[in-house]
Structure 1
Amino acid sequence: MSEQVAQNAASNQPTWPPDYSTYSYSELDNVLEALRREAGSRRAPDSYRKFLSKVIEHMDCLYNETTTCNERMRKLESEQKVYAEYLSTTSTNYDDLMELFKKERKERLKMEEKVIEMYTQLLEQGASDPTTVDLLEARVTAAEKAREEAELKLAKISEEKAESQRQLIRVAVGRQNMERDLVNQFAEIDTTRKKVTELELELQRAKAKAYQWEKVIQKKDAQINKQTMENTQLKLLCQQWGMTASTIGRQAAMPYIAQQLPQQQSPPSPQQLRILQQ
């Protein structure tokens, strides 16, 4: 019977905690999955599961923040790429405008030199030939018209240049803001990684503490099983001792009772024998 009690006690021994060496995860998704499995294990203590539930809740928040930061970083990188392409195109357009401006300036200087040359020729001829005067006036009018057109083109180029400069300034400011946002995002990611590392360390400490408590519980269970076996053996011994003592007591009492009975010629009746046996 004592062996059966020991077998029953051994079969009721808890099998928790599991082998933690199987949880060799490095990515956040796998770490959260391992924590959820531990928190959902019915073999784990309630305090351990409650602690893991709080850790999972906190890590879910951190995981969502990390996902949001990564999405925002990808969006900022895409915007930065678009701004860089726009800046490159704007720079190319600005260079083309500068070349056009230089070309128009050279043409204007040439036209001014021609106007001065024609006025000089007019003064030298004394304005005596009407044909020459009309021709010179036509040339002067054409030169003035060309000069006005050149000035309009120059003003347009200057306005486009100013607009390009303003656009470049806006792009530069936007890039600075984007770089500042990226720096802040990287800082938040570093902080999140530190929090995850701290939580992993806290999880390891909790596992170690739970393992220690499991050892204590196993030791207590072994003591209880041992005490149960000893109590069972004592109970059996007490029962055997009681049966032996009862038999010995009846055998010892029979001669004494026989001496106390009155002397009779006939043997005792069956009723008297039953009373004596009782």
Structure 2
Amino acid sequence: CLYITFLWKHFCGKQKPEPLIDLGHPRISFKELRIATNGFGKGNLLGVGSVGSVYKGVLANGTLVAVKVLNLQDNSAYNSFIIECQVLSKAIHRNLIRVLTSCSNLDIKALVLEFMCNGNLEKQLHCDSIMCNIGGVCKMNLQTRLQIAIDIARGLAYLHHDCSIQVIHCDLKPSNVLLDYYMTAHVADFGNAQILSENSMHTVSSPKTIQGTLGYIAPEYGVSANVSTKGDVYSYGILLLEILTKKRPTDQMFVEGLSLRMWVSMVFPHRIAEVIDYCITHCNGGATDERWQCLIEMTRV
């Protein structure tokens, strides 16, 4: 994570200081949420996850928000809601999604989050080529991808080392990284997160099975209940390779023992051009010597 930050400073210049963000909105009622989301209408539906749905909404004061409504028929939804509330009430950083308020009663469990107009990294990375270009300029160019990688690394570093509670995300993947108007990345969806005890030394035995996502979850989670910061670092490495290659770790080409990591390793570093996403190497002036060096160093991470 620190090495990615160094790469950004070297290739793309210095960054402005990053102030922490504030919470400060009052609780919201179920009635207000219904009005804000047009009755939780299909036209406002942004997406459906494993434990609930997310709707676009407009509060009475005009604030555009995303409303995450938990599916109370799912036994794990309540626990996910509690964990997410615990994490987001303590973890406040510019590269983490910000919770504005919540609504909790017998009928509904919902989180009101800041709205991210550029959706998630999954959609931006794997979108149709026409939609990914603005005026002939590729939206997901090398500089944007490097900045996104930096943002995610900073968010994770904060969760692991600088937050008042130590948090392991446990489900880092492109769809859980949201992008704002400026394409700044915000790590989101803490429903599977683990909060470590003060004396855990970066590892703790989890009381529940780690849910994770196939392809991104650390292999050791399949045989051990020990949750570690190393698990998030593994997921980050896979995510970084996907950012550079535009290949999901679950792509159908990865069969018979071949994995995304192995595929990249086979050509690193001299034939790295064979696996890097076309948009990086051919759009916006192509890949200069300096950009190639940046790509090699990012892949090395």
Q: TM-score surpassing 0.5?
A: no
| Higher-RCO chain (CA-CA 8 Å, sequence separation at least 6) | 1
Tell me the TM-score normalised to structure 1 length.
0.20
Between Structure 1 and Structure 2, the one with more helix by share is: 1
Between Structure 1 and Structure 2, the one with more strand by share is: 2
Q: Which has the larger radius of gyration?
A: 1
